[in-house]
Structure 1
Amino acid sequence: MTEPLLPREVSRAFDAFPLPIRRRLLDVRKLIFATAKAHDDDVGPLTETLKWGEPAYLTDATGSGSTIRLGPLKHSDYAAILFNCRTTLVETFRERFPDQFKYRQTRALLLNVSGKLPKQPLSVCLSLALTYHLDRRWKR
Protein backbone atom coordinates (compact mmCIF):
# COMPACT_ATOMS: atom_id res chain seq x y z
CA MET A 1 0.00 0.00 0.00
CA THR A 2 1.21 3.49 -0.79
CA GLU A 3 0.57 6.48 1.39
CA PRO A 4 -2.73 8.32 0.88
CA LEU A 5 -3.06 11.49 -1.16
CA LEU A 6 -2.04 14.61 0.68
CA PRO A 7 -4.96 16.60 2.11
CA ARG A 8 -5.02 20.06 0.49
CA GLU A 9 -4.06 21.99 3.63
CA VAL A 10 -1.20 19.56 4.42
CA SER A 11 0.04 19.80 0.83
CA ARG A 12 0.17 23.59 1.17
CA ALA A 13 2.20 23.27 4.35
CA PHE A 14 4.73 20.98 2.62
CA ASP A 15 4.87 23.39 -0.34
CA ALA A 16 5.90 26.20 2.03
CA PHE A 17 9.04 24.32 3.12
CA PRO A 18 12.35 24.89 1.32
CA LEU A 19 12.70 22.27 -1.43
CA PRO A 20 15.42 20.08 0.18
CA ILE A 21 13.49 19.97 3.48
CA ARG A 22 10.21 19.29 1.67
CA ARG A 23 11.73 16.33 -0.20
CA ARG A 24 13.23 14.86 2.97
CA LEU A 25 10.01 15.25 4.96
CA LEU A 26 7.88 13.77 2.17
CA ASP A 27 10.16 10.72 2.38
CA VAL A 28 9.57 10.66 6.14
CA ARG A 29 5.82 10.89 5.51
CA LYS A 30 6.01 7.76 3.34
CA LEU A 31 7.90 5.98 6.11
CA ILE A 32 5.33 7.06 8.71
CA PHE A 33 2.52 5.48 6.70
CA ALA A 34 4.56 2.34 5.95
CA THR A 35 5.42 1.97 9.65
CA ALA A 36 1.81 2.47 10.68
CA LYS A 37 0.73 -0.16 8.14
CA ALA A 38 3.28 -2.62 9.57
CA HIS A 39 1.60 -2.17 12.97
CA ASP A 40 -1.94 -1.85 11.61
CA ASP A 41 -3.57 -4.03 14.28
CA ASP A 42 -2.28 -1.74 17.04
CA VAL A 43 -2.07 1.63 15.31
CA GLY A 44 -5.04 1.63 12.93
CA PRO A 45 -5.57 4.38 10.36
CA LEU A 46 -3.64 7.62 10.78
CA THR A 47 -5.15 11.07 10.84
CA GLU A 48 -3.11 13.51 8.76
CA THR A 49 -3.72 17.11 9.70
CA LEU A 50 -1.96 20.33 10.64
CA LYS A 51 -0.70 21.19 14.11
CA TRP A 52 0.86 24.63 14.52
CA GLY A 53 0.74 24.94 10.73
CA GLU A 54 2.87 21.83 10.15
CA PRO A 55 1.95 18.32 8.93
CA ALA A 56 1.03 16.09 11.86
CA TYR A 57 0.18 12.39 12.17
CA LEU A 58 -2.13 11.14 14.89
CA THR A 59 -3.50 7.76 15.92
CA ASP A 60 -6.99 9.12 16.64
CA ALA A 61 -8.79 5.85 15.92
CA THR A 62 -6.85 3.78 18.48
CA GLY A 63 -5.09 6.32 20.68
CA SER A 64 -2.02 4.09 20.43
CA GLY A 65 0.56 6.75 19.74
CA SER A 66 1.91 10.19 20.34
CA THR A 67 1.61 12.89 17.67
CA ILE A 68 4.38 13.06 15.09
CA ARG A 69 4.86 16.48 13.48
CA LEU A 70 7.11 17.40 10.54
CA GLY A 71 8.77 20.71 9.84
CA PRO A 72 11.96 22.61 9.17
CA LEU A 73 14.24 23.40 12.08
CA LYS A 74 14.23 27.17 12.23
CA HIS A 75 17.43 28.90 11.15
CA SER A 76 19.03 25.68 9.90
CA ASP A 77 19.15 23.25 7.00
CA TYR A 78 17.75 20.37 9.05
CA ALA A 79 14.41 18.66 8.67
CA ALA A 80 12.78 18.04 12.02
CA ILE A 81 10.53 15.26 13.22
CA LEU A 82 8.88 16.69 16.31
CA PHE A 83 7.38 14.82 19.24
CA ASN A 84 5.53 15.79 22.40
CA CYS A 85 8.22 17.02 24.79
CA ARG A 86 6.38 15.47 27.74
CA THR A 87 7.04 11.97 26.43
CA THR A 88 10.24 9.96 26.81
CA LEU A 89 10.46 9.38 23.07
CA VAL A 90 13.46 11.54 22.17
CA GLU A 91 15.31 10.29 25.24
CA THR A 92 14.67 6.72 24.09
CA PHE A 93 15.84 7.54 20.55
CA ARG A 94 19.06 9.03 21.96
CA GLU A 95 19.71 5.87 23.97
CA ARG A 96 19.09 3.55 21.03
CA PHE A 97 20.66 5.65 18.29
CA PRO A 98 23.17 8.05 19.88
CA ASP A 99 25.18 8.63 16.70
CA GLN A 100 22.55 8.05 14.02
CA PHE A 101 20.66 11.33 14.45
CA LYS A 102 21.00 14.80 15.88
CA TYR A 103 18.44 15.80 18.50
CA ARG A 104 16.93 19.00 19.83
CA GLN A 105 16.21 18.85 23.58
CA THR A 106 13.29 16.49 24.34
CA ARG A 107 11.32 17.58 21.30
CA ALA A 108 12.93 16.70 17.98
CA LEU A 109 14.91 14.24 15.93
CA LEU A 110 16.84 16.09 13.21
CA LEU A 111 17.68 14.84 9.74
CA ASN A 112 20.17 16.07 7.19
CA VAL A 113 18.44 16.88 3.94
CA SER A 114 21.18 15.30 1.85
CA GLY A 115 22.32 11.71 1.73
CA LYS A 116 20.37 8.54 2.22
CA LEU A 117 17.43 8.48 4.64
CA PRO A 118 18.32 6.12 7.54
CA LYS A 119 15.11 4.13 7.07
CA GLN A 120 15.71 1.23 9.46
CA PRO A 121 16.55 3.24 12.61
CA LEU A 122 14.02 5.90 11.70
CA SER A 123 11.27 3.30 11.30
CA VAL A 124 12.10 2.02 14.80
CA CYS A 125 11.71 5.56 16.17
CA LEU A 126 8.44 6.08 14.31
CA SER A 127 7.15 2.73 15.54
CA LEU A 128 7.92 3.72 19.12
CA ALA A 129 6.01 6.99 18.63
CA LEU A 130 3.02 5.33 16.94
CA THR A 131 2.70 2.80 19.78
CA TYR A 132 3.85 5.01 22.67
CA HIS A 133 0.62 4.79 24.68
CA LEU A 134 0.31 1.04 24.13
CA ASP A 135 3.74 0.48 25.67
CA ARG A 136 2.81 2.66 28.63
CA ARG A 137 -0.50 0.82 29.18
CA TRP A 138 1.27 -2.53 29.46
CA LYS A 139 3.70 -1.14 32.04
CA ARG A 140 0.94 -0.10 34.44
Structure 2
Amino acid sequence: MRKPANRATSKPRTQATAAGPAQTLFGGYPAPIKAKLLALRRLIFDTAKTTEGVGALQETLKWGQPSYLTVETGSGSTVRIDQVKPAANQVAVYFHCQTNLVETFRELYPELSYSGNRAILLDVKNKLPEAALRHCVALALTYHLRRKPDRGT
Protein backbone atom coordinates (compact mmCIF):
# COMPACT_ATOMS: atom_id res chain seq x y z
CA MET A 1 0.00 0.00 0.00
CA ARG A 2 1.36 3.37 -1.03
CA LYS A 3 1.28 6.45 1.13
CA PRO A 4 -1.04 9.19 -0.10
CA ALA A 5 0.81 12.00 -1.85
CA ASN A 6 1.49 15.06 0.25
CA ARG A 7 -0.63 17.75 -1.39
CA ALA A 8 0.42 20.60 0.85
CA THR A 9 2.78 22.92 -0.99
CA SER A 10 3.68 26.50 -0.39
CA LYS A 11 3.71 27.33 -4.10
CA PRO A 12 0.80 26.95 -6.53
CA ARG A 13 1.39 24.33 -9.21
CA THR A 14 0.26 24.13 -12.77
CA GLN A 15 -0.13 20.98 -14.76
CA ALA A 16 -0.46 20.00 -18.35
CA THR A 17 0.05 16.64 -19.90
CA ALA A 18 2.74 16.55 -22.58
CA ALA A 19 0.61 14.56 -25.01
CA GLY A 20 -2.88 15.65 -23.95
CA PRO A 21 -5.66 16.47 -26.40
CA ALA A 22 -4.74 20.17 -26.53
CA GLN A 23 -1.10 19.32 -27.29
CA THR A 24 -2.21 17.07 -30.14
CA LEU A 25 -4.39 19.87 -31.51
CA PHE A 26 -1.48 22.33 -31.67
CA GLY A 27 0.26 20.10 -34.22
CA GLY A 28 -2.54 20.68 -36.74
CA TYR A 29 -2.08 24.46 -36.99
CA PRO A 30 0.10 26.20 -39.61
CA ALA A 31 3.55 27.04 -38.16
CA PRO A 32 2.99 30.79 -37.50
CA ILE A 33 -0.37 30.14 -35.77
CA LYS A 34 1.08 27.25 -33.77
CA ALA A 35 4.00 29.40 -32.59
CA LYS A 36 1.68 32.21 -31.45
CA LEU A 37 -0.72 29.80 -29.70
CA LEU A 38 2.16 28.07 -27.89
CA ALA A 39 3.44 31.48 -26.76
CA LEU A 40 -0.05 32.26 -25.41
CA ARG A 41 -0.16 28.86 -23.69
CA ARG A 42 3.17 29.59 -21.94
CA LEU A 43 1.92 33.04 -20.93
CA ILE A 44 -1.27 31.53 -19.43
CA PHE A 45 0.64 28.92 -17.40
CA ASP A 46 3.28 31.46 -16.28
CA THR A 47 0.55 33.89 -15.24
CA ALA A 48 -1.26 31.18 -13.27
CA LYS A 49 1.98 30.28 -11.44
CA THR A 50 2.57 33.85 -10.36
CA THR A 51 -1.02 34.82 -9.52
CA GLU A 52 -2.05 34.25 -5.92
CA GLY A 53 -5.08 32.03 -5.39
CA VAL A 54 -5.15 30.38 -8.82
CA GLY A 55 -3.58 26.98 -8.11
CA ALA A 56 -3.00 24.33 -10.74
CA LEU A 57 -4.54 24.77 -14.16
CA GLN A 58 -6.11 21.98 -16.14
CA GLU A 59 -5.51 22.07 -19.88
CA THR A 60 -8.28 20.48 -21.88
CA LEU A 61 -10.37 21.01 -25.00
CA LYS A 62 -13.64 22.95 -24.91
CA TRP A 63 -15.46 23.56 -28.16
CA GLY A 64 -12.40 22.08 -29.90
CA GLN A 65 -10.15 24.82 -28.48
CA PRO A 66 -7.26 24.60 -25.99
CA SER A 67 -8.83 25.66 -22.70
CA TYR A 68 -7.42 26.44 -19.27
CA LEU A 69 -9.49 25.86 -16.14
CA THR A 70 -8.85 26.60 -12.47
CA VAL A 71 -10.20 23.24 -11.29
CA GLU A 72 -8.04 23.07 -8.17
CA THR A 73 -9.31 26.32 -6.64
CA GLY A 74 -12.31 27.34 -8.76
CA SER A 75 -10.83 30.84 -8.66
CA GLY A 76 -11.45 31.83 -12.23
CA SER A 77 -13.27 31.73 -15.49
CA THR A 78 -12.12 29.48 -18.34
CA VAL A 79 -9.61 30.96 -20.78
CA ARG A 80 -9.50 29.52 -24.32
CA ILE A 81 -7.16 30.17 -27.24
CA ASP A 82 -7.55 29.46 -30.95
CA GLN A 83 -7.00 30.68 -34.46
CA VAL A 84 -9.66 33.13 -35.59
CA LYS A 85 -11.54 31.45 -38.37
CA PRO A 86 -11.52 32.14 -41.27
CA ALA A 87 -8.73 34.71 -40.67
CA ALA A 88 -5.40 33.03 -41.36
CA ASN A 89 -3.43 35.78 -39.64
CA GLN A 90 -5.18 36.14 -36.25
CA VAL A 91 -5.44 34.25 -33.00
CA ALA A 92 -7.73 35.02 -30.10
CA VAL A 93 -7.85 34.66 -26.34
CA TYR A 94 -11.47 33.84 -25.51
CA PHE A 95 -13.28 34.55 -22.24
CA HIS A 96 -16.74 33.62 -20.99
CA CYS A 97 -19.14 36.01 -22.72
CA GLN A 98 -21.49 36.30 -19.73
CA THR A 99 -18.81 37.90 -17.57
CA ASN A 100 -17.72 41.53 -17.56
CA LEU A 101 -14.12 40.55 -18.30
CA VAL A 102 -13.80 41.85 -21.86
CA GLU A 103 -15.66 45.03 -20.89
CA THR A 104 -13.06 45.53 -18.14
CA PHE A 105 -10.20 44.81 -20.56
CA ARG A 106 -11.57 47.41 -23.01
CA GLU A 107 -11.46 50.05 -20.27
CA LEU A 108 -7.95 49.08 -19.17
CA TYR A 109 -6.43 48.44 -22.61
CA PRO A 110 -8.27 50.35 -25.35
CA GLU A 111 -5.28 49.80 -27.65
CA LEU A 112 -6.04 46.05 -27.94
CA SER A 113 -8.43 44.62 -30.54
CA TYR A 114 -11.56 42.84 -29.36
CA SER A 115 -14.34 40.66 -30.69
CA GLY A 116 -17.60 41.56 -28.98
CA ASN A 117 -17.66 40.64 -25.31
CA ARG A 118 -15.77 37.40 -25.76
CA ALA A 119 -12.21 37.77 -27.09
CA ILE A 120 -8.97 39.67 -27.45
CA LEU A 121 -7.76 39.46 -31.06
CA LEU A 122 -4.07 39.28 -31.91
CA ASP A 123 -2.26 39.48 -35.25
CA VAL A 124 0.12 36.56 -35.72
CA LYS A 125 2.91 38.74 -37.15
CA ASN A 126 2.86 41.25 -34.27
CA LYS A 127 4.63 40.87 -30.95
CA LEU A 128 2.36 39.80 -28.08
CA PRO A 129 1.40 42.67 -25.76
CA GLU A 130 2.64 40.57 -22.85
CA ALA A 131 2.05 42.93 -19.93
CA ALA A 132 -1.55 43.63 -20.95
CA LEU A 133 -2.26 39.97 -21.71
CA ARG A 134 -0.78 38.80 -18.39
CA HIS A 135 -3.01 41.25 -16.54
CA CYS A 136 -6.11 40.21 -18.51
CA VAL A 137 -5.40 36.51 -18.01
CA ALA A 138 -4.78 37.07 -14.27
CA LEU A 139 -8.12 38.89 -14.00
CA ALA A 140 -9.87 35.97 -15.73
CA LEU A 141 -8.13 33.32 -13.61
CA THR A 142 -9.21 35.13 -10.41
CA TYR A 143 -12.66 36.24 -11.60
CA HIS A 144 -14.61 34.19 -9.04
CA LEU A 145 -12.42 35.36 -6.16
CA ARG A 146 -13.57 38.93 -6.78
CA ARG A 147 -17.22 37.88 -7.25
CA LYS A 148 -17.56 36.23 -3.83
CA PRO A 149 -19.52 38.30 -1.29
CA ASP A 150 -17.77 39.57 1.83
CA ARG A 151 -18.32 37.41 4.87
CA GLY A 152 -18.33 38.64 8.41
CA THR A 153 -18.95 42.34 7.85
Whether these two folds match at TM > 0.5 is yes
1: CA distance, partners of 2:149 / 2:47: 21
Residues 58-113 of structure 1, C-alpha deviations (whole Å, 9 max, x = no match) = 001110000001101111121011111001111111110001x2100011111111
- The residue aligned with 2:83 is 72
- The residue aligned with 1:21 is 33
- The residue aligned with 2:23 is 11
Residues 106-126 of structure 1, C-alpha deviations (whole Å, 9 max, x = no match) = 111111111321111110000
2:135 corresponds to which of 100, 124, 127:
124
2: CA distance, partners of 1:118 / 1:7: 28
What letter corresponds to residue 37 of structure 2 in structure 1?
A: L
1:133 corresponds to which of 120, 144, 149:
144
Tell me how large the CA RMSD over aligned residues is. Answer: 2.0
Aligned residue runs from structure 1 range 31-46, under 5 A: 31-39=43-51, 41-46=52-57
- The residue aligned with 2:5 is none
1: CA distance, partners of 2:150 / 2:123: 34
2: CA distance, partners of 1:58 / 1:8: 14
What letter corresponds to residue 125 of structure 2 in structure 1?
A: S
- After TM superposition, what 4+ stretches of structure 1 lie above 3 angstroms from structure 2? 1-7
2: CA distance, partners of 1:23 / 1:5: 18
Give 1 or 2: higher helix fraction: 1
5+ long unaligned stretches in structure 1: none
2: CA distance, partners of 1:13 / 1:75: 17
Q: How does the TM-score come out when normalised to structure 2?
A: 0.83
> Are 1:54 and 2:65 matched, yes or no?
yes
1: CA distance, partners of 2:14 / 2:75: 21
2: CA distance, partners of 1:139 / 1:106: 27
Aligned residue runs from structure 1 range 100-111, under 5 A: 101-111=112-122
Q: Percent same amino acid at aligned positions?
A: 49
What letter corresponds to residue 67 of structure 1 in structure 2?
A: T
